[in-house]
Chains A and B, each alone.
Chain A
Amino acid sequence: MNTGYFFPHRHILGIDHLSREDILYILDTAESFKEISARPIKKVPTLRGHTIINLFFEPSTRTRLSFEVAAKRMSADTFNISASTSSATKGETLIDTARNISAMHPDIIIIRHSFSGAPHMLARYVDAAVINAGDGAHEHPSQGLLDMMTVKEHKGRLHDLKVAIVGDILHSRVAHSAIQGFTRMGSSVQVYGPSTLIPKGLEQLGARVCTSLEEVVRDADIVMTLRIQKERQNDPLLPSFREYSRQFGVTKQLMGLAKPDALVMHPGPVNRGVELMPEVADSSQSVILNQVTNGVAVRMALLYLVMGNG
């Protein structure tokens, strides 16, 4: 690791505020922690005595588990608050919830919220470090970082790669973090999906919008598919999963257009047979489970770094 560098971030709210140097430093740190999860005794005392709160206002299985595993492997004390058990159901505002939690002196609060920007607001009201575990359609920075870590492991670099993202770009915080991350590292990102799910202004964010599945996948180094949802708040985005699968699903045949060593990625959970065909999800090109493994390492790194260990 380079000398003279100091990790400058108290909070991790999005990839958008991380520099190229920050990202590389996080990934290097994650790489050094990855080995801990392979030990027979998977625990180091690094964050002993630290209190970490998982504040989840949206259902989550894998992200919450991943953060919890990461925290426990660093010997931190973790507490989970989910929407169903939280004060949200009692009409307490997020600010009041934040102030009450803050009064118990936690060191880190990990928040997932259906409103974009909720972690930014939380960060203004608490003394703890805040890590965004997904906010609305904005960002999911730890996912973006674990995606980059997985790519770096397999490709040996993060620059000069062609990254194809297919599916619901409009609602996907994963896509937004990936676009920011991969373009910042010097790769090109191209996206494709039904026009109902392509937001305005993607070009200004650095992504090229393609006009066909073939175009987006051709010569790609990475093919990332996103979970699709048929309907949101009465907005008629798609007629059916059946049609999506036939018109926009990533098949084995389609993968033939990508580079032979292209990686298949998906943030999970996969709608098998809808956005991704089972033979692709389970192929040798698929690194979906490596993403999950790296997720723990990246989150260990983030917990370590926001505690001022950078």
Chain B
Amino acid sequence: MNRSWWIKNGRLIDPANKVDDQGDLYIVDGRICPPDSEVDRAQLEVIDAAGCLVTPGLIDMHVHLREPGQEYKEDIVSGARAAASGGFTAVACMPNTRPVNDSSAVCAMIRQQARGAAARVYPVAAISKGSRGEELAEFGELRDAGAVAVSDDGLPVHDSQLMRRAMEYASDFGLAVIAHCEDPALASGVMNEGEVATRLGLKGIPTAAESIMVYREIALAEFTGKRVHIAHVSTAMSVDLIRAAKARGVAVSAETAPHYFTLTDQAVDGYQTNAKMNPPLRSEADRQAVIQGLQDGTLDAIATDHAPHSSLEKETEFDAAAFGIIGLETALPLSLELVRQGVISESRLVELLAVNPARILGVEGGSLSPGAVADLTIIKPDDRFVYTAAAIVSKSHNTPFLDRTLEGRAQLTMVAGELKFSRQAR
């Protein structure tokens, strides 16, 4: 397969090298060439990227691929295909599979399934055995088997001592600890606690349920001097806590998801189960605070929390419906909306979707530096399309953005110089 390209006429966005310029990019044998190198252009296949952004491959550091165990919702191959069509060249998949990914066997199985898939798949392993919140999983062996981070995502670590030990022990193996912050006793509801929940008669989840745990993780990271990554930030108070912690020099990083800066709890109106997720959609003030956090650097990454569920889990009473929505194919247009609104620049967008996720997970990619692996995404920012069920690549269709007109999407992705996705049949 060809792994050498000449990408012409694109706008190169490479914040790691402070580049935002029209230009050409040469790729030889799956690596990016220095612009001034002696390349035999005749040997390169040409891609015309006129009107497009050429960026490092986007990395979604928080997805659920459901394999092993719930392949009727998604599997590694279908999830990677959805990722590629959404512009992602790599994803990090959470361990709440069946069985839980708390062993080298499951890590190895995930990597095996991902071989030849449309995107890189990095396993995130469990913090605790079985994600039961009782004893630490074997981080060393998990790292050796390919895990890039640990998390009990979906099942918040209740025991503060266990979380402290996880941060300490993970640092010995260079693994990020990704915290799903929710106080389980407070978070027993089904949507954000507030006027909409009261009107709909649905049990609320207070913002405090998240913020209390965000502060706990910050306090533990600050005390131990270790790092922690806060998953899917949804509240204004969490953003404030993280901003203050960063100002004190605490090694905390954080992500949010496109739905938290796009929608509010009003989207639940009519008992829309595709607007049910955990943490829940919040108020307009929370949404604005999340946008502010993306803008001022408090939040480091945009991750989708892609959580596929079939109609069995979603076409049901709101209380009975599963939490979570898919996001791989909508993250880019929803994030580009922030660029169109002038909230963030294209460079900041690439930091949030590529540079920082690569840095936090300690994986390759995230730049167009000479010699770097040629993972890249070509984005047509003004490509308008209607997001229909028929066009969804993921196995599941649980999204509140169905039939919306969205703007901006990936035209092409490349992993190590290999073409993984192209919107126009080439």
State yes or no: do A and B come from one complex. yes
Residues in chain A within 8 A of chain B (CB atoms): 16, 93-95, 113, 115-118, 120-121, 135-139, 173, 176, 199-202, 204-205, 233, 235
Of B194, B199, B318, the residue contacting A115 (CB under 8 A) is B318
Does A200 lie within 8 Å of B198, measured CB to CB? Answer: yes
Is B342 part of the contact surface with A, judged by Cβ < 8 Å?
Answer: no
Q: Does B271 contact A (CB under 8 A)?
A: yes
Q: How far is the CA of A204 from the CA of B195 in the complex (A)?
A: 7
Q: A120-B271, A233-B188 are in contact. Are A136 and B197 (CB under 8 A)?
A: no
User: Is B271 within 8 A of A199, CB to CB?
Assistant: no
B393 within 8 A of A: no
Residue B244 interfacial (CB < 8 Å): no
0/1 per residue, B171-208, Cβ < 8 Å to A?
00000000000000000100001111111111110000
Q: Is B315 an interface residue (CB 8 A)?
A: yes
Contact present for A200 and B194 (CB under 8 Å): yes
Q: Which residues of A contact B316 (CB under 8 A)?
A: 93-95, 121
Asked if B319 is at the interface (CB within 8 A of a chain A CB), the reply is yes
Q: Are the C-beta atoms of A121 and B204 separated by less than 8 Å?
A: no
Given known pairs A121-B271, A199-B198, A201-B199, the reply for A94 and B193 (CB within 8 Å) is: no
In the complex the two chains form, is B271's CB within 8 Å of A116's CB? yes
Q: Which 8 A-B pairs have the closest CB atoms?
A: A201-B195, A138-B201, A117-B271, A116-B201, A137-B201, A115-B317, A199-B198, A115-B319
For the complex formed, measure the closest distance between the CB of B300 and the CB atoms of chain A, giving whole angstroms: 31
- Listed A/B pairs (8) with beta-carbon separation below 8 Å: A115-B320, A116-B202, A121-B317, A136-B202, A137-B201, A176-B201, A201-B194, A201-B198
CA distance A135 to B201 in the complex (A): 8
- Cβ proximity bits B314-354 to A, threshold 8 Å, 1 near / 0 not: 01111110000000000000000000000000000000000
B249 within 8 A of A: no
Chain B CB within 10 Å, residue with most, of A115, A121, A176 = A115
CB distance from A88 to the nearest CB of B (A): 11
- Range of interface residues on B (Cβ < 8 Å): 20 to 34
**Among candidates B193, B194, B201, residue contacting A173 with C-beta atoms closer than 8 Å:** B201
Q: Which residue of A lies closest to B315 (CB)?
A: A95
Contact (A200, B204) CB under 8 Å given A116-B271, A120-B270, A120-B271: yes
A42 to B194, CA, bound (A): 46
A131 to B356, CA, bound (A): 53
Question: Would you call A136 and B201 a contact (CB within 8 A)?
Answer: yes
B199 CB contacts on chain A under 8 angstroms: 16, 176, 201, 205
B260-311 interface with A by 8 A CB criterion: 270-271
Binary CB contact string for chain B from 38 to 80 against chain A (1 if under 8 A, 0 otherwise): 0000000000000000000000000000000000000000000
Residues of A within 8 A of B318 (CB): 115-117
Contact B319 A116 (CB under 8 A): yes
- A205 to B, closest residue via Cβ: B199
| Bound-complex Cα distance A138 to B196 (A) | 11
Question: With a CB–CB cut-off of 8 A, which chain A residues contact B317?
Answer: 94, 113, 115, 117-118, 121
User: From B202, which residue of chain A is reached at the shortest CB distance?
Assistant: A116
The answer for the CA separation of A121 and B271 in the assembled complex, in Å, is 8
Distance, CA A176 to CA B316, complexed state (A): 23
Residue of B nearest to A180 (CB): B199
A93 neighbours in B (Cβ, 8 Å): 316
Across the interface, do B200 and A138 meet the contact criterion of CB distance under 8 Å? yes
A137 to B204, CA, bound (A): 12
- For chain B residues 187-235, which have a beta carbon within 8 Å of chain A? 188, 193-204
List the B side residues contacting A235 at CB < 8 Å: 188
> Given A93-B316, A121-B317, does the pair A199, B197 have CB atoms closer than 8 Å?
yes
Known: A115-B320, A120-B271, A200-B193. A205 touches B198 (CB 8 A): yes
Closest to B204 in A: A200
Shortest Cβ distance from B312 into A: residue: A93
Output the least CB separation between B48 and chain A (Å). Answer: 48
B198 contact set on A, CB distance < 8 A: 176, 199-202, 205
Complex partner residue of B196 from A117, A120, A121, A201, CB under 8 angstroms: A201
Q: Which residues of A contact B271 (CB under 8 A)?
A: 116-117, 120-121
- Nearest CB in chain B to that of A170: its residue: B198
Whole-angstrom distance from the CB of B206 to the nearest CB of chain A?
8
* Smallest Cβ-Cβ distance to B206: which chain A residue: A200
Chain A residues with Cβ under 8 A from B203's Cβ? 137
Question: What's the least CB distance linking A165 to chain B, in Å?
Answer: 14
CA of A199 to CA of B48, assembled, Å? 58
Please state if B319 and A136 are interface contacts (CB–CB under 8 Å). Answer: yes
Do residues B195 and A116 form an inter-chain contact, with CB atoms below 8 A?
Answer: no
> B190 — nearest CB in chain A belongs to which residue?
A116
**CB-nearest residue of chain A to B320:** A115
Bound-state CA distance A200–B204 (Å) is: 9
* List of A residues within 8 angstroms of B201 by Cβ: 116-117, 135-139, 173, 176
